[in-house]
Amino acid sequence: MAKVAFIGLGVMGFPMGGHLKVKGGHDVTVYNRTAAKADDWVAKFGGKSAPTPAEAARDADFVFTCVGNDDDLRSVTSGENGVLQTMKPGAILIDNTTASAEVARELYAAAKEKDVGFIDAPVSGGQAGAENGVLTVMCGGDEATYETAKPIIDAYARMVGLMGAAGAGQLTKMINQICIAGVVQGLAEGIHFGKRAGLDIEKVVEVISKGAAGSWQMENRHKTMNVGKYDFGFAIDWMRKDLGIVLNEARSNGAKLPLTALVDQFYGDVQAMGGNRWDTSSLLARLEK
């Protein structure tokens, strides 16, 4: 059993922290900006809460962060009440936020100055994956630090991999989002085309999903897309945040991402329709408006 702190109890962090407590059997202290959410977590899973990230991280062996963006991450790690103010030498900071590779490298350096290990470890699998403890975790950092952290991360993951040095986890998550954007747009256009052609979408998907066109998105989202329901996962606001990180990185490294840039614009159209909190499959709504 390890002493663990978990910072950020959103739709992903809340169940992830729970798996560390229940499945992992660790001594977990949580912090959340809205204290009521931390109280709810303690009522559900046990453990305890702290008034600041720094207090949550005090004496912890492993500290997890899962917050909104780069600025939030800097606040809870390097800020006045951030975890790096109190983490003990030899402890490991594991960041599950989807953030920039730049901030990952920045935190790696800041942690190293305090003799603290750092792993950038963004996740994929959505809210359902977090709740079921079957997330895919893409890590960046030193191999020795990763090997120490992996058994702890395993509590909420079905796949964990070291992608390279600090920042490599975030870069891999960017590729994940690039691929998802293209697949969802293709699925939306396919369903839209099929409807216009008068076909039974369920019959179509039953056949083509067993061939080269099959995908996780097709298997898990075609039914809800077909009936115009879009409250089943990762919100457009979050996806646009992620794609913004992707496109900014592409401007730095020279990658050409015309499809990703176009789909990002399409998501902007859906936001303009009032779909900010719809899930990413709502690209179909834009075609059917």
Q: Based on the residue annotation, tell me whether 173 is a catalytic residue of this protein.
A: yes
Reference 132, options 141, 140, 123, 119; nearest CA is 123
List 114, 173, 210, 256, catalytic entry:
173
**Structural tokens at position 2:** 């390890």
| CB atoms inside a 10 Å sphere around CB 133 | 20
- Cα–Cα distance for residue pair 36/29, rounded to 1 Å: 14
Determine if residue 115 is left, alpha or beta; phi over 0 gives left, psi from -120 to 50 gives alpha, anything else beta. Answer: left
- Cα–Cα distance for residue pair 273/185, rounded to 1 Å: 17
Q: Say which DSSP state 146 is in.
A: H
Catalytic site positions: 173
